[in-house]
Amino acid sequence: MRKNWFEYVAKIKKKNNRGSKTMTHAEAMKEASKTWPKEKRRIERRLKKCPKSASEPPKQKNQDAENDQQ
């Protein structure tokens, strides 16, 4: 969950740093803590539903490898 927390804080910070606004990491943590319980439940449901794929990022096809095979 720690990794998910910091990913969520980064998402909040990125969202709130658009335009001329600036937000520090500590400010982003304060802001993220307000909506974290809801986000945490979403993450837990996703992990319960499909534990392996939720923890790993989706694999992308490597087009260079496909071109080498042809």
61 within domain boundaries? no
41 within domain boundaries? yes
> Is the distance from CB of 13 to CB of 25 less than 8 angstroms?
yes
69 within domain boundaries? no
6 within domain boundaries? yes
Q: What's the domain count of the chain?
A: 1
27 phi/psi in degrees, rounded to 5: -65, -40
Q: What's the CA gap between 11 and 15, in Å, rounded?
A: 6
Q: What's the CA gap between 10 and 60, in Å, rounded?
A: 23
Domain residue limits at 12: 2-56
Per-residue tens of pLDDT for the chain, all 70 residues = 899 999 999 999 999 998 888 899 999 999 999 999 999 999 999 888 886 655 565 566 666 665 666 5
> Is the distance from CB of 3 to CB of 47 less than 8 angstroms?
no
Centre a 10 Å sphere on the Cβ of residue 32 and count the other Cβ atoms it contains: 20
